[in-house]
């Protein structure tokens, strides 16, 4: 998905059209999601941005090029500038799973690939898994497709939800995966889940009480959050433990993994936690 090294053909075409010092600044890295390219472009290349995007699109064989921006807000929407083409909806295939999404409006982080692949191996067919922040099924499609577990996927944003539903059909897991378009705090299920996915950042701790009410005794929670490096490895486990205690639960840490650097001095991590009613 990430590529390094500029193609000779791109350099050949653009070196005839751009000043030499700008050719050196052409992006050597980009992210390709389905047939949409996310291209980081230096401000010096601004006057040539549409032509550069056109050449990258032609040589790399994509239909649309977006200039990379930031991901923000409660629903984690990316912020992109359209440089070439118009259609930003695509199907990205990763680990044999089809993810349909609108790349301009829905985040799909290349840095989370290891976690998406890991999820394919964690669950068993007799489990009920609840994904509290499903997105387009980023983490729960691998569980339904490879783990063959029953999955309840909850997604609040109606536009993202539309793709979640399409992805369930595209991956032919309608028999075991169902989707709910609601705020997970309004989800009525209690004491039902063998496994819970909390694939969210920054404010994930606010949702711990709801996760505990959905969890069965002994359930596993894959708890994501962002944490300042200087508080690691004490956090985010201490906060999780404090909240679970307040609600009458014990917790055992099974595993902790760094997913990616989220901001300078801040990591996105995931903890595998087993929760017990005390
Ligand atoms: C950052 S995306 C992550 C998707 C996936 N879990 C992953 O880790 O790759 C988080 C998703 O959670 C959704 N979301 C945020 N708050 C929610 C809530 N209270 N209930 C349900 N979905 C929510 C957002 O709309 C977004 O699609």
Question: For position 270, what pLDDT does the model report?
Answer: 98
Out of 32, 58, 87, a domain closes at: 87
Query: Residue 172 C-alpha to ligand 1 middle, in angstroms?
Result: 22
* Number of independent structural domains in the chain: 2
Is 183 touching ligand 1 by the criterion CB < 6 Å? yes
CA of 159 relative to ligand 1 center, distance in Å: 12
Q: How confident is the model at residue 10 (pLDDT cuts 50, 70, 90)?
A: very high
> What mean pLDDT comes out for the span 242-257?
97
Q: Which of 52, 87, 122 is the last residue of a domain?
A: 87
Domain encompassing residue 144 = 107-277
Judge whether residue 173 has pLDDT over 80.
yes
Task: Give the CATH number for residue 186.
Answer: 3.40.50.150
Q: Is the pLDDT of residue 79 over 90?
A: no
Amino acid 249: pLDDT: 97
The protein residue with its alpha carbon nearest to ligand 1, atom 27, reads 135
Assess whether the C-beta atom of 74 lies below 6 angstroms from ligand 1: yes
Say what the ipTM of the complex is. Answer: 0.99
Is 109 annotated as belonging to a binding site? Answer: yes
> Is residue 101 in some structural domain?
no
Using the atom order of ligand 1, give the atom closest to the CA of residue 133: 12
Token digits of residue 39: 């291209």
Where residue 278 falls among pLDDT bands split at 50, 70, 90?
A: confident
Which helix (H) or strand (E) element contains residue 160? helix 158-170
Handedness of CA 263, 106, 99, 83 (dihedral sign): negative
Cβ of residue 222 lying under 6 Å from some atom of ligand 1: no
Question: How far is residue 124 from each of residues 4, 178, 252, 272, 275, measured CA to CA in Å?
Answer: 37, 17, 20, 16, 18
Closest CA to 36 of 53, 12, 48, 49: 53
Q: Is there a binding annotation on residue 246? A: no
Residue 183, annotated as binding a ligand? yes
127 shares its domain with 36: no
| Residue range 125-148, pLDDT digits in tens | 999 999 999 999 999 999 999 999
Residues 53, 113 within the same domain: no
**CATH number reported for the structural domain that contains residue 8 in this entry:** 3.30.300.110
With a 6 A CB cut-off, is 160 part of the ligand 1 pocket? yes
In a domain, 111, yes or no: yes
Q: Decide which of 87, 119, 137 is a domain's last residue.
A: 87
Question: Does residue 102 fall inside a structural domain?
Answer: no
What's the predicted TM-score (pTM) here? 0.94
Give the model's confidence band at 39: pLDDT under 50 very low, under 70 low, under 90 confident, else very high. very high
Portion of the chain with pLDDT greater than 90, in percent? 91
Tell me: do 120 and 249 sit in the same domain: yes
């Amino acid at each position: 998905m990430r590529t390094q090294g500029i193609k000779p053909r791109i350099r050949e075409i653009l070196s005839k059209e751009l000043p030499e010092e700008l050719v050196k600044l052409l992006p050597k890295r980009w992210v390709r999601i389905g047939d949409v390219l996310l291209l980081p472009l230096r401000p010096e290349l601004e006057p040539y941005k549409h032509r550069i995007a056109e050449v990258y699109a032609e040589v790399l064989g994509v239909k649309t090029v977006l200039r990379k921006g930031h991901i923000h807000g409660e629903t984690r929407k990316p912020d992109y500038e359209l440089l070439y083409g118009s259609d930003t909806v695509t199907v990205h295939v990763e680990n044999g799973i089809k993810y349909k999404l609108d790349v301009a409006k829905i985040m799909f982080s290349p840095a989370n690939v290891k976690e998406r692949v890991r999820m394919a191996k964690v669950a068993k067919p007799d489990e009920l898994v609840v994904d509290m922040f499903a997105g387009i099924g980023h983490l729960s499609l691998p569980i339904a497709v490879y783990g063959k577990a029953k999955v309840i996927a909850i997604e609040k944003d109606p536009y993202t939800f539309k793709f979640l539903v399409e992805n369930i059909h595209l991956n032919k897991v309608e028999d075991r995966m169902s989707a709910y378009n609601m705020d997970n705090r309004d989800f009525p299920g209690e004491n039902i889940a063998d496994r819970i996915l909390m694939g969210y950042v920054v404010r994930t701790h606010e949702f711990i009480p709801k996760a505990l009410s959905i969890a069965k005794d002994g359930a596993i929670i894959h708890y994501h959050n962002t944490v300042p490096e200087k508080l690691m490895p004490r956090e985010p486990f201490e906060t999780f433990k404090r909240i679970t205690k307040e609600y009458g639960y014990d917790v055992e840490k099974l595993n902790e993994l760094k997913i990616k650097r989220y901001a300078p001095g801040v990591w996105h991590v995931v903890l595998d936690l087993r929760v017990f009613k005390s």
